[in-house]
Amino acid sequence: MRHPEPHIFHLTPETLGDWCAQRKWPKFRAKQILEWVYEKGVADPHAMSNLAKRERDQLAAEMTFLSGDTLSHQSASDGTQKLLIQWTDAGTSPLPIVGQSANDPARQTECVMIPSLDRTPGGTPTRRTACISSQVGCPVGCKFCASGLGGLDGNLSAGRIVEQVWRLARLPGVERISNIVFMGMGEPLANFASVIHAVRTIAAPWGMGIGARKITISTVGLPKAIERLAEELELPVTLALSLHAPNDDLRRKLIPWSSYTTIEELLGACRKWFDKTGREITLEYILLGGVNDRPQHAEELAEVASTLRANVNLIRYNEVEGMPFERPATGDVRRFQEILTQRGVNAHIRASRGRDIAAACGQLRHESNKAESGA
């Protein structure tokens, strides 16, 4: 199905205002439309009651609101909710999404709503984090991750990135999204322009209204793109570096893309980031049982972390069927953290969320398509 352009979630007050002016609508229509979409959560033009009927009809005919379909909605026992979205043919940039079948993995991405385990006295989660995708598939090909099993199929447009947040905010029991992490499918800094456009919309008072300081961009490490991101000073986002190994030899075995750069080059870019922004970096480290979770790895990681202003997030691996990696033992994880702490590193163990709904990145798409193919 082909949708009309443009996509509402791609537009700003200025560009939507121009669109309305071309149709000789009143100047305030753009503001009203954006209020319906972002403040009231309405994506049906026919329900926008303060617009004239002819305007509602024209808006429905000439503007895309929701450009994908939800193929799967799963809820975990811990409150985590995950969506598998099938995108249609419009709204990708700059690569097209290929594939023609109704359930083609080349058109699917995942996004997750993760409620905080910290609760207020009334029992309401204090944080609701949206974990969103920036690409369809992934070019990085981490050996332990399901996202890149089929490689990269395309970049998501800014509108489709924002649409994921909007969809998650409309899920049952979710009053509003408080935090954003670009830790879903894809490498965000490889889709730089669309991600920055989306971040501006997510942070804008007229948009999702989620401050940039509550937005984290996670990258496997593109030094020049990290330095470029530091120049976006009006967007004080948090930078997370997906390190996953403390030395180049092991990292290149786990992350094929790391053959193009070294840890020292990445650390240099991160130091420039800190010098420019004054914001600490988060080092993300997935612990793989028997692979990168040994005491010597912790000692090496402590040396790496000591060279810059950073904290370390330790993430226990969520198993993916067909991949030769195992979840680390709890004792090994605790020992790993203890070594880092003893070396003066601020290290946290991230709570595992949504394990009963294929919550690992790319896992739902992977399992959905195995079932579709009868594998």
Q: What pTM was estimated for this model as a whole?
A: 0.90
CA-based radius of gyration for the chain = 21
Using the 8-state DSSP alphabet, how is residue 35 labeled?
A: I
Give domain status of residue 198, yes or no.
yes
Task: Please indicate, yes or no, whether residues 175 and 306 belong to a single structural domain of this protein.
Answer: yes
Select from 247, 241, 243 the least CA-distant residue to 299.
247
Mean pLDDT of the region 314-341:
94
At residue 151, the pLDDT reads 85
Judge residue 369's burial from the number of C-beta atoms within 10 Å of its C-beta, 0-12 exposed, 13-18 middle, 19 or more buried: middle
pLDDT at 109 over 90: yes
At residue 358, the pLDDT reads 56
Select from 231, 216, 233 the least CA-distant residue to 179.
216
At residue 78, the pLDDT reads 87
Task: Please indicate, yes or no, whether residues 81 and 19 belong to a single structural domain of this protein.
Answer: no
Mean pLDDT of the region 156-178:
96
Pairing relationship of beta strands 128-131 and 108-115 according to DSSP bridges: antiparallel
Number of domains in the chain: 2
pLDDT at 357 over 80: no
At residue 98, the pLDDT reads 38
Give domain status of residue 2, yes or no.
no
Domain that holds residue 266: 68-373
Task: Please indicate, yes or no, whether residues 35 and 169 belong to a single structural domain of this protein.
Answer: no
Higher pLDDT, 358 or 285: 285
Residues 182-240 have pLDDT tens digits of: 999 999 999 999 999 999 999 999 999 999 999 999 999 899 999 999 999 899 999 99
Torsion of CA 167, 189, 310, 255, to 10 degrees: 100
At residue 345, the pLDDT reads 97
Q: Is the peptide bond before 94 cis (omega within 30 degrees of 0)?
A: yes
Task: Please indicate, yes or no, whether residues 91 and 198 belong to a single structural domain of this protein.
Answer: yes
Which residue is catalytic, options 111, 138, 145, 361?
Answer: 361
At residue 101, the pLDDT reads 42
Sole residue written with tokens 């990681």: 301
CB atoms within 10 A of CB 95: 14
Task: Please indicate, yes or no, whether residues 154 and 79 belong to a single structural domain of this protein.
Answer: yes
Higher pLDDT, 308 or 2: 308
Contact between 136 and 41 (Cβ < 8 Å):
no
Select from 69, 89, 68, 108 the least CA-distant residue to 364.
108
Q: How far apart are the first and last CA of the chain?
A: 28
pLDDT at 372 over 80: no
Task: Please indicate, yes or no, whether residues 340 and 297 belong to a single structural domain of this protein.
Answer: yes
At residue 117, the pLDDT reads 63
Mean pLDDT of the region 151-176:
95
Give domain status of residue 1, yes or no.
no
The domain boundary residue, chosen from 43, 62, 81: 62
Give domain status of residue 134, yes or no.
yes
* Token code pair at residue 176: 């509003």
Give domain status of residue 220, yes or no.
yes
3 state DSSP class of 285: strand
At residue 92, the pLDDT reads 41
Q: Is the peptide bond before 6 cis (omega within 30 degrees of 0)?
A: yes
Task: Please indicate, yes or no, whether residues 48 and 75 belong to a single structural domain of this protein.
Answer: no
Distance of alpha carbon 264 from alpha carbon 106, whole angstroms: 35
Q: Which residues pair with 68 in a beta bridge?
A: 87
* Token code pair at residue 119: 């609760």
Contact between 136 and 107 (Cβ < 8 Å):
yes
Task: Please indicate, yes or no, whether residues 113 and 142 belong to a single structural domain of this protein.
Answer: yes
Higher pLDDT, 95 or 178: 178
Task: Please indicate, yes or no, whether residues 171 and 261 belong to a single structural domain of this protein.
Answer: yes
Give domain status of residue 142, yes or no.
yes
* Token code pair at residue 164: 């994921």
* CATH code for the domain of 199: 3.20.20.70
Task: Please indicate, yes or no, whether residues 265 and 222 belong to a single structural domain of this protein.
Answer: yes
Please confirm, yes or no, whether 234 is among the known catalytic residues.
Answer: no
pLDDT at 369 over 90: no
Please confirm, yes or no, whether 110 is among the known catalytic residues.
Answer: yes
Residues 30-71 have pLDDT tens digits of: 999 999 999 999 999 999 999 999 999 999 999 999 999 999
At residue 361, the pLDDT reads 54
Give domain status of residue 252, yes or no.
yes
Task: Please indicate, yes or no, whether residues 32 and 176 belong to a single structural domain of this protein.
Answer: no
* CATH code for the domain of 50: 1.10.150.530
At residue 88, the pLDDT reads 82
| Of the candidate ranges 114-118, 195-199, 298-302, the one whose mean pLDDT is the lowest | 114-118
The domain boundary residue, chosen from 62, 87, 105: 62
Mean pLDDT of the region 168-184:
95
Mean pLDDT of the region 276-288:
96
Give domain status of residue 210, yes or no.
yes
Residues 236-263 have pLDDT tens digits of: 999 999 999 999 999 999 999 999 999 9
At residue 320, the pLDDT reads 83
Task: Please indicate, yes or no, whether residues 170 and 319 belong to a single structural domain of this protein.
Answer: yes
Which residue is catalytic, options 55, 110, 187, 367?
Answer: 110
At residue 73, the pLDDT reads 96
| % pLDDT > 90, the chain | 76
- Mean of all residue pLDDT scores within the chain: 89
